[in-house]
Amino acid sequence: MNIIDTLLRPDLRGREPYGAPQLDVAVRLNTNENSYPLPPAVVASIEKAVSAVAPHLNRYPDRDAVRLRADIADYLGYGLTPEAVWAANGSNEILQQLSQAFAGPGRVALGFTPAYSMHPIITTAVGGAWIEGNRDRRFDLTVESAVEQVLRHRPDIVFLCSPNNPTGTALTPEVVTAVVDAAPGLVVVDEAYAEFARAGTTSALDLLVGRPRLVVTRTMSKAFGLAGARVGYLAADPAVVEALRLVRLPYHLSTVTQVVARAALEHAPLLLATVDAIREQRDRLVRELTGLGLDVAPSDANFVLFGGLSDSSGVWRSLVDRGVLIRDVGIPGWLRVTAGTPEETGEFLDALRIILNGES
Ligand code: PMP
């Protein structure tokens, strides 16, 4: 062990950092980004907004991002006020601030895996204990199973993910409300992919009234196509937002980030116009992967999990060799692919067909 390893917190020794590969290949469908560049009108608004604040960057930003939070509240609707909304550098930072305030040393967080890999990483990074809950057959989560696990572990914080990454499906409102009723602590519904949900799904935003322990997190990284700007947010009881002000770093959200996010929100309908095109490619992936005889999980997100591969790591490697990067999420036999442009999606499907024909 080198000197730094001996100095590191014992509970962090030997852990792996979050590490989706960032490879320079032609087709990148591995981190569920939006493949479409920002339209010129949005770029122009962002440039104008950044130019306007540039001379004033000698000053710290608005610590509470008041105007951005008001714009997010307006965008979300549901009668939300700015006091019920909080913003940070990606929803990852939102999840971290929630964990700092409500989990941490001596406390327990529960999630139902497979789910978003950062939930356990954030929990343990802030010194909390992570309990890996289970899903049912084919990654489903029933009311009975979720409630039983919550009652057994009595966690301080429960992470639900809807639509779930990496499996793709949204939770029913019955599961969310049952978990809130059963849980002693905070219930966080990570809705990073909510805008891509199929018709008929319910957002947990619809369940907030009268449930002060329910928190809904969202991001501008996916449907809005703004992953590079790092903007995430939550909607919750204003008391939750007040609690986060105890742990956030002062001026955590830069002036540049705040004005970029506001400029993007002004163009929300234009930016969200890509959602339908992405959904189409998502449904095409489900159709064509099923046609290839693979096992395909239904998806409410901008990605698809598919299984039935005898050597999933080998298929992943062969795709990289053909310039197509998708995600090996560590479930043997399964891989996850992001729905890209029609061309990218087609290149992935063509490459996969060739590889599977060679495999058989
Ligand atoms: N939640 C889920 C379920 C995600 O998949 C991601 C990103 N992959 C995030 C949160 C974090 O996204 P960001 O920090 O870019 O908002």
Residue 220 CA, closest ligand 1 atom number: 16
> Residue 359 has what pLDDT?
54
Give one DSSP letter per residue of 298-335, joined into a string: --SSSEEEEE--TTHHHHHHHHHHTTEE-B--S-TT-E
* Inter-CA distances, 278 with 91, 114, 116, 197, Å: 21, 23, 21, 11
How many angstroms is it from 91 CA to the middle of ligand 1?
6
- The answer to whether the beta carbons of residues 215 and 187 sit under 8 Å apart is yes
Both tokens of residue 147? Answer: 């409630």
- The answer to whether the beta carbons of residues 333 and 308 sit under 8 Å apart is yes
Which residues, given as ranges, of the chain have pLDDT below 50? 360
> Residue 23 has what pLDDT?
86
Arch. (CATH architecture) of 40-269: 3-Layer(aba) Sandwich (3.40)
How many angstroms is it from 199 CA to the middle of ligand 1?
22
* Domain boundaries, given as residue ranges, for the chain: 3-30+273-359, 40-269
- The answer to whether the beta carbons of residues 108 and 129 sit under 8 Å apart is yes
How many angstroms is it from 164 CA to the middle of ligand 1?
11
Residue whose token pair is 């602590």: 185
Both tokens of residue 119? Answer: 């939930």
Distance of CA 293 to the CA centre of its chain: 29
User: Helix/strand/coil (H, E, C) string of 15-37?
Assistant: CCCCCCCCCCCCEECCCCCCCCC
Give one DSSP letter per residue of 84-137, joined into a string: GEEEESHHHHHHHHHHHHHSSTT-EEEEEESS-THHHHHHHHTT-EEEEEE--G
> Residue 14 has what pLDDT?
87
Gap between the Cα atoms of 25 and 72, Å rounded: 35
Gap between the Cα atoms of 310 and 347, Å rounded: 22
> Residue 302 has what pLDDT?
98
Pocket test for ligand 1, best of 33, 113, 118, 231 (most atoms within 8 A of CB): 118
How many angstroms is it from 207 CA to the middle of ligand 1?
21
Give one DSSP letter per residue of 187-220, joined into a string: EEEE-TTGGGPPTT---GGGG-TT-TTEEEEEES
- Nearest Cα to 265, choosing from 201, 306, 299, 220? 220
Gap between the Cα atoms of 105 and 84, Å rounded: 27
> Taking CB atoms and a 6 Å cutoff, what residues make up the pocket around ligand 1?
32, 90-92, 116, 161, 165, 190, 192, 219, 221, 227, 232
Residue 91 CA, closest ligand 1 atom number: 16
Residue whose token pair is 């995600």: 327
DSSP 157: E
- The answer to whether the beta carbons of residues 240 and 186 sit under 8 Å apart is yes
Q: Considering only CA atoms, which residue is closest to atom 4 of ligand 1?
A: 192
How many angstroms is it from 33 CA to the middle of ligand 1?
10
Pocket test for ligand 1, best of 219, 224, 253 (most atoms within 8 A of CB): 219
Both tokens of residue 190? Answer: 């990570």
Residue 230 CA, closest ligand 1 atom number: 15
- The answer to whether the beta carbons of residues 215 and 317 sit under 8 Å apart is no
Burial class (CB in 10 A: 0-12, 13-18, 19+), 270: middle
Arch. (CATH architecture) of 3-30+273-359: Alpha-Beta Complex (3.90)
Tell me: the pLDDT tens digits for 249-299?
A: 999 999 999 999 999 999 999 999 999 999 999 999 999 999 999 999 999
Q: Considering only CA atoms, which residue is closest to atom 13 of ligand 1?
A: 90
- The answer to whether the beta carbons of residues 215 and 159 sit under 8 Å apart is no
Tell me: the pLDDT tens digits for 14-65?
A: 888 887 788 889 999 999 999 999 999 999 999 999 999 999 999 999 999 9
> Residue 137 has what pLDDT?
83
How many angstroms is it from 55 CA to the middle of ligand 1?
32
Pocket test for ligand 1, best of 18, 29, 222, 302 (most atoms within 8 A of CB): 222
- Nearest Cα to 233, choosing from 265, 202, 206? 265
Residue 16, SS3 per DSSP: coil
Residue 164 CA, closest ligand 1 atom number: 3
> Residue 360 has what pLDDT?
44
How many angstroms is it from 92 CA to the middle of ligand 1?
6
The two beta strands, 214-219 and 186-190, are parallel
Residue 32 CA, closest ligand 1 atom number: 8
